[in-house]
Amino acid sequence: MRITGGELRGIQLKVPAGRVVRPTTDRIREAVFAMLGNISDCGGRILDLYAGSGALGIEALSRGAKWVDFIDQNRKSCNVIEYNLQKSRLQDRAHIYCCSVNHAMIFLDSNYDIVFLDPPYSYSSTDDLLLTLSGNKILGQMSTVVVSHANRFLLKSDYSDLHLVKQRRYGDSYISIYQREI
């Protein structure tokens, strides 16, 4: 797996061993950032939930994001994210919280421009998480939420003030992009 764009294009990233993490492929990450190019500025604050290897957040940093907070409860994943940040010399523009997403929702208080939400493919509560996220203080007036989900868990077009603006299918995966409009 490698960074697909920006100043660090081509740098190889480490992925946690085993089947705990299913990393977003290079092709899908390229597609995500192409879709975001027309919707949102990638130069702001980013939140990477269920970060895994950190590939989405690191890709955002490579493409000009100012700051990324990474959230993952798996210690091995947190160690891999730390390794990838050090390898790409980005550790001064990021922070890793090794905790659950639900716990992070309680203590995070920054407004994020983009939130990447990439839960495990067996996670069936993405609907509930999107509803919780829509009412959370971490989203600003025009925040964008990018959700990666399995095709067996189709999402609604609206979650309170989060509205679906783009959706694409890639094999057994969907990328759904929501924007908060207040």
> Is 36 part of a structural domain of the chain?
yes
Residue 162 pLDDT? 93
Q: Domains in the chain: how many in total?
A: 1
CATH of the domain at 143: 3.40.50.150
The rounded distance, in Å, linking the Cα atoms of 133 and 107 is 13
> Is 21 part of a structural domain of the chain?
no
> Is 13 part of a structural domain of the chain?
no
3-state helix, strand, coil in the chain (%, to 5): 30, 30, 40
> Is 3 part of a structural domain of the chain?
no
Which domain, by its residues, includes 129? 26-180
> Is 15 part of a structural domain of the chain?
no
> Is 11 part of a structural domain of the chain?
no
Count of alpha carbons within 13 Å of 65, Cβ hemisphere only? 31
The rounded distance, in Å, linking the Cα atoms of 175 and 111 is 22
Q: Which of 23, 35, 82, 104 is nearest to 63 (CA)?
A: 35
Asked if residues 58 and 10 have their Cβ atoms less than 8 Å apart, the reply is no
For 134, the 3-state DSSP assignment is helix
Residue 91 pLDDT? 94
pLDDT tens, N- to C-terminus, the chain (182 residues): 888 888 999 899 998 887 666 677 778 888 888 888 866 667 789 999 999 999 999 999 999 999 999 999 999 999 999 999 999 999 999 999 999 999 999 999 889 999 999 887 766 788 888 988 888 889 988 899 999 888 777 889 999 889 999 999 988 888 999 998 76
Q: What is the largest CA-CA distance in the chain?
A: 41
> Is 171 part of a structural domain of the chain?
yes
> Is 12 part of a structural domain of the chain?
no
